């Protein structure tokens, strides 16, 4: 597992029973835990034999912001710069405060920062030493939608500027938006990996979501659409998988029309990473 192989990667995880898998992987890659077996190379260094060199080229931001609330934002950054023996920690702190839009709050105590500001400061502290690889373990957990979007842009900026980012997340849309390379982790094992486009290629190219006025209509539709893969999203909503062609889309609607089953609405649907995840782990939403 080299840093280049997992550049800008995202480990996906959505089930509680695998909650420790992705964090354990990050701990191993960042030298905090020892692997039971196998081999890992980070920045060209063997994790088992050259842990010190690995630590010199990486940085880690955990699930919870690790800032010193008794210090200001500027002081937090300068402290890390001194610990890393930078020649000019004040200049580096000033640069990161500007990069992370924290200049106005630079001389306020970190205890007064909002959750989004603390998270930005936490990541800025991880970048003081200009690491080649940064591990972000669920960096948007607990953030409101506005701060989550801001964090996405921060992560994109890091990757665009040449930093290799390995990020864990429970949010599938986050993985799809951010990642060049995605690994789906389930019960401690990677079940699939690739780009979002490659992963979604394992599923049919499209489908249609059907909303009915009553449960009885939905029940009748299940019988009429025998031969298609139909999943019950809600009592009155069906998710019908098709090959994405206009012919199959039209066939679904024609069958319902000929049977006299009224539709409230229908929506064409493209496969999502959630669909991929549920398919790969064998989870079903509820068939007719």
pLDDT, mean over the chain: 85
Domain boundaries in the chain? 9-198, 206-270
DSSP-based three-state secondary structure for 257: helix
Task: Give dist(CA 111, CA 67) in Å, integer.
Answer: 9
Whether 124 has a pLDDT exceeding 60, the answer reads: yes
Predicted confidence at residue 225, as pLDDT, reads 95
**Percent of the chain having pLDDT more than 70?**
91
206-270: CATH class: alpha beta
- Which parts of the chain are beta strand (E)? 9-12, 41-42, 45-46, 58-61, 133-137, 164-169, 181-186, 189-194, 206-211, 229-234, 237-242, 265-269
Quickly state the pLDDT bin for 283 (edges 50, 70, 90).
low
Segment of 44-53, 143-152, 179-188 carrying the highest mean pLDDT: 44-53
Over the stretch 33-70, which tens digit does the pLDDT of each residue have?
A: 988 888 889 999 999 999 999 999 999 988 777 899 99
- Burial of 142 (C-beta count, 10 Å sphere; 0-12/13-18/19+): middle
Task: Give dist(CA 235, CA 245) in Å, integer.
Answer: 27
Q: Which residue has the tokens 């890992």?
A: 40
Task: State which CATH number among 3.40.50.2000, 3.40.50.300, 3.40.30.10, 3.30.160.20 fits the domain covering 9-198.
Answer: 3.40.50.300
SS3 content of the chain, % helix, strand, coil (to 5): 40, 20, 35
Whether 187 and 21 have beta carbons less than 8 Å apart is answered as yes
Whether 12 and 175 have beta carbons less than 8 Å apart is answered as yes
Over the stretch 101-113, which tens digit does the pLDDT of each residue have?
A: 999 999 999 999 9
Task: Give dist(CA 67, CA 73) in Å, integer.
Answer: 9
Over the stretch 68-80, which tens digit does the pLDDT of each residue have?
A: 999 999 999 999 9
């Amino acid at each position: 597992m080299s840093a280049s192989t997992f550049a800008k990667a995202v480990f996906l995880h959505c089930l509680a029973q695998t909650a420790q898998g992705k964090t354990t992987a990050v701990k191993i890659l960042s030298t905090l835990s020892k692997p039971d077996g196998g081999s890992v190379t980070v920045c060209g260094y063997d994790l088992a034999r050259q842990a010190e060199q690995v630590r010199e080229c990486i940085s880690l931001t955990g699930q919870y912001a690790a800032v010193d609330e008794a210090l200001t934002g500027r002081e937090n950054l300068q402290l890390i710069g001194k610990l890393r023996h930078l020649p000019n920690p004040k200049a580096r702190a000033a640069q990161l405060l500007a990069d992370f839009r924290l200049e106005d709050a630079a001389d306020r105590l970190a205890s007064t920062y909002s959750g989004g500001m603390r998270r930005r400061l936490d990541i800025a502290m991880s970048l003081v030493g200009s690491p080649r690889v940064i591990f972000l373990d669920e960096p948007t957990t607990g953030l409101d939608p506005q701060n989550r979007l801001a964090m996405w842009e921060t992560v994109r900026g890091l990757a665009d500027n040449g930093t290799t980012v390995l990020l864990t997340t429970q949010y599938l849309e986050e993985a799809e938006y951010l990642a060049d390379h995605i690994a789906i982790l389930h019960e401690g094992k990677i079940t699939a990996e690739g780009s979002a486009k490659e992963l979604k290629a394992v599923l049919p190219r499209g489908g249609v979501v059907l909303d009915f006025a009553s449960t009885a209509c939905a029940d009748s539709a299940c019988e009429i659409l025998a031969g298609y893969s139909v999943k019950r999203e809600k009592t009155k909503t069906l998710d019908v998988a098709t090959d994405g062609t206009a012919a199959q889309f039209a066939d679904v609607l024609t069958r319902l029309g000929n049977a006299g089953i009224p539709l409230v609405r229908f929506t064409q649907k493209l496969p999502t990473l959630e669909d991929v995840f549920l398919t790969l782990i064998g989870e079903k939403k509820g068939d007719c």
